[in-house]
């Protein structure tokens, strides 16, 4: 083999496992050797589960020896620390949940385990998924494997860094306003946010319930299709889960995109966009045109209002969802207090970080008497306008292509004292989240400083297969996904 086991993809190891050329225990051991070797420099993991992972790997090997193989049997997967894992600490990267051990698995964790998948551990993130740089974690920031002085993106920065640095084969993330796609772009890998309701949210610790969506972070598009196939589908335990039947995405790994019309929204090419990012995306679109796709300019006129609407809606929902962390039943409780009210105040003040407090305050304000109609109600109307923009656009095109982020990965500390500048990092990913449509980021270039650039592909509701087809075709006709961080390769 030309590669170490930890460097491989899901589909590469699947073939070797099925041919009995490797075993899951050796594969999992290789991953942990990699983590022990380099994670002190990256900080991608909050909690690892070596003992239980090796037991799961042994069970998978026995299952395969009996000829019983499912989609993920023996495959190691990392999990963002906002998804509940039974008997494995789940913290949301917050002091508030520092010692929380869930008594149950999230539905998608159940699905992975039932298919013989191996849970490696829980990855670092922005606290309660609130951030774009993985700098708000109580457990310290995650470094970008391409340049450890730079951020990995957020909020699924730990999952993205772990995949990019070969500390896992693939990882689960969650995306509320770009939290899978933006860090995938910064780390040079594939991030896929499915349609809202396509993947169960049961067991996902809520930030903004109408926006949160679990998805995949992988080394390439084929792995994204495999992992999405494994976790998608209706879940009666999730009231928002859709009964729309999920197609097998692996059947859509096609190199033919001649039937696709791709829309390029003029509103996404702003003056503030980095020139290297813009040029790489334009080159990628030209490549798609040469591959046979039809390209047309479209308009998404309400894009400029997306960030404002998002931060009102998301903060309002966060204010409501995080009210449960009061120090009474579970989570952090202050050690010194004089009354019940004082316990609430101190527990929340000490348990939450600065960015979480900022959003709770904003959300509480916009939901307060006299301001609900002025802010939250208006933001909800803007969300509908943005949804309708996409609905109209998809009458004229099959897919929409844009930059994933306006820049490549920025320096750690560069935006921490300027929240508005930090929020701007999600300007291209937020509209798809507000509309609930599926979207993915794949690599499309490298800056002069050697940093990856991502291109975003958005599709119509429940049309994940079209995104997979275009992404796979582009990937197979380029080499960007094969680039690795030099310092960790």
Contact 263, 298 (CB under 8 A): yes
Q: What is the mean pLDDT of residues 200-225?
A: 98
CB 155 within 8 A of CB 134: yes
Same domain as 324, residue 197: no
Do residue 352 and residue 404 come from a single domain? no
H-helix or E-strand spanning residue 298? strand 294-298
Q: Rounded to whole angstroms, how far apart are CA atoms 171 and 125?
A: 13
| pTM exceeds 0.95 | yes
Question: Is residue 293, in this structure, part of any structural domain at all?
Answer: no
Bond preceding residue 329 cis, omega within 30 of 0: no
Residues 240 and 312 in one domain: no
Print the domain residue range for 350. Answer: 304-368
Res 193 pLDDT > 70: yes
Rounded Cα–Cα distance for residues 260 and 440 (Å): 16
Residues 346 and 247 in one domain: no
Please report whether residue 412 resides in a domain.
yes
**Residues 317 and 424 placed together within one structural domain of the fold:** no
Residue 223 in any domain: the answer is yes
pLDDT in tens, 231-248: 999 999 999 999 999 999
Question: In this structure, what CATH number is given to the domain that contains residue 255?
Answer: 3.90.1300.10
What token pair was written down for 50? 């070596």
DSSP character string of 368-405: STTTIIIIIIHHHHHHHHHHHHHHHHTTT-SEEEEESS
Which pLDDT score, from 0 to 100, does residue 424 have? Answer: 87
Cβ neighbour number for residue 64 with a 10 Å cutoff: 19
The pLDDT tens digits for 27-86 are 999 999 999 999 999 999 999 999 999 999 999 999 999 999 999 999 999 999 999 999
Distance CA 68, CA 101 (A): 31
82: its two tokens? 């906002």
Q: Domain boundary at 331, 353, 368, which?
A: 368
Using omega within 30 degrees of 0 as the cis cutoff, is the peptide bond preceding 155 cis? Answer: yes
Helix runs in 394-463, H state only? 419-423, 430-435
Q: Structure tokens of 35?
A: 């983590």
Residues 389, 309: Cα–Cα separation, whole Å: 15
How would you label 30-49 residue by residue, b for 16+ Cβ within 10 Å and e otherwise?
A: bbbebbeebbeebbbbbbbb
Note the pLDDT of residue 1.
Answer: 63
Query: Is the same domain home to 14 and 67?
Result: yes
Residue 271 in this model has a pLDDT that exceeds 80: no
Residue 419 above 90 pLDDT? no
Average pLDDT, the chain: 96
Residue 140 covered by a domain = yes
Whether residues 197 and 59 fall in one domain: yes
Predicted pLDDT at 160: 98
Looking at the predicted structure, is the pLDDT value of residue 488 above 80?
A: no
Asked whether residue 291 is assigned to any structural domain, the reply reads no
Domain boundary among 316, 349, 368: 368
254 belongs to a structural domain: yes
Average pLDDT over residues 105-128: 98
Residues 296, 264: contact at Cβ < 8 Å?
yes
pLDDT digit string, tens, across residues 372-385:
889 999 999 999 99
Same domain for 189 and 61, yes or no, is yes
99 pLDDT more than 90: yes
Whether residue 462 contacts residue 472, with contact meaning beta carbons closer than 8 Å, is answered with no
Residues 425 and 473 in one domain: yes
In a domain, 271, yes or no: no
Task: Calculate mean pLDDT across residues 268-291.
Answer: 94
Total domains in the chain come to 2
Residue 228 shares a structural domain with residue 346: no
Same-domain check for residues 74 and 220: yes
As given in the structure block, the two tokens for residue 211 are 């926006």
- Residue 265 has a pLDDT of 97
Last residue of a domain, one of 350, 368, 386: 368
Distance between CA atoms of residues 277 and 229, nearest Å? 31
Domain membership of residue 294 (yes or no) is no
Q: Based on the fold, state whether residues 350 and 404 are members of the same structural domain.
A: no
The residue-averaged pLDDT of 85-90 equals: 98
477 and 241 in contact (C-beta within 8 Å)?
A: no
Q: Which residues are designated catalytic?
A: 80, 155, 179
φ, ψ of residue 114 to 5 degrees: the values are: -65, -30
**What pLDDT shows up at residue 489?**
63
Instruction: Please state, for a pLDDT cut of 90, what percent of the chain lies above it.
Output: 93
What does the pLDDT read at residue 32? Answer: 98
Provide Rg for the chain, Cα atoms: 21
């Amino acid at each position: 083999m030309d590669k170490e086991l930890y460097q491989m993809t899901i589909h590469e190891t699947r073939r070797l496992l099925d041919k009995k050329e490797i075993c899951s225990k050796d594969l999992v051991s290789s991953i942990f050797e990699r983590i022990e070797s380099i994670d002190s420099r990256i900080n991608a993991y909050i909690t690892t589960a070596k003992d239980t992972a090796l037991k799961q790997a042994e069970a998978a090997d026995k299952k395969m020896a009996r000829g019983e193989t499912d989609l993920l049997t023996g495959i190691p997967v990392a999990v963002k620390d906002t998804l509940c894992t039974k008997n494995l600490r789940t913290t949301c990267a917050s002091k508030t949940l520092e010692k929380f051990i869930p008594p149950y698995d999230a539905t998608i964790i159940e699905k992975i385990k039932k298919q013989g998948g191996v849970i490696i551990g829980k990855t670092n993130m922005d606290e309660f998924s609130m951030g774009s740089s993985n700098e708000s974690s109580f457990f310290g920031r995650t470094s970008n494997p391409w340049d450890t002085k730079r951020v990995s993106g957020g909020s699924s920065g730990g999952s993205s860094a772990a995949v990019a640095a070969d500390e896992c084969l693939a990882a689960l993330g969650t995306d509320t306003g770009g939290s899978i796609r933006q860090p995938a772009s910064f780390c040079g890998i594939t991030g896929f946010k499915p349609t809202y309701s396509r993947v169960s949210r049961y067991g996902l610790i809520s930030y903004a319930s109408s926006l949160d969506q679990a998805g995949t972070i992988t080394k390439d598009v084929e792995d994204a299709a495999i992992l999405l196939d494994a976790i998608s589908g209706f879940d009666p335990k999730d009231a928002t889960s859709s009964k729309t039947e999920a197609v097998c995405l692996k059947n859509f790994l096609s190199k033919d995109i001649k039937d696709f019309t791709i829309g390029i929204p003029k509103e996404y090419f702003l003056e503030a966009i980095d020139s290297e990012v813009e040029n790489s995306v334009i080159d990628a679109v030209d490549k798609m045109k040469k591959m046979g796709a039809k390209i047309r300019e479209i308009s998404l006129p309400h894009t400029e209002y997306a960030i404002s609407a998002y931060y009102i809606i998301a903060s309002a929902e966060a204010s409501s969802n995080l009210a449960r962390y009061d120090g009474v039943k579970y989570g952090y409780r202050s050690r010194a207090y004089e009354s019940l009210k004082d316990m609430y105040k101190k527990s929340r003040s000490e348990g939450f970080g600065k960015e979480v407090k900022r959003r709770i305050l904003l959300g509480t304000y916009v939901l307060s008497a006299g301001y609900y109609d002025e802010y939250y109600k208006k933001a909800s109307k803007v969300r509908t306008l943005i949804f309708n923009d996409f609905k109209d656009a998809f009458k004229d095109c099959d897919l929409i292509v844009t930059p994933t982020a306006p820049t490549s990965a920025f320096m750690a500390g560069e935006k921490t004292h300027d929240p508005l500048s930090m929020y701007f990092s999600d300007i291209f990913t937020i509209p798809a989240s507000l509309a609930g449509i599926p979207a993915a980021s794949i690599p499309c270039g490298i800056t002069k400083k050697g940093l990856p650039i991502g291109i975003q592909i958005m599709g119509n509701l429940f049309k994940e297969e079209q995104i997979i087809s275009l992404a796979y075709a582009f990937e197979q006709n380029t080499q960007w996904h094969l680039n690795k961080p030099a310092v960790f390769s």
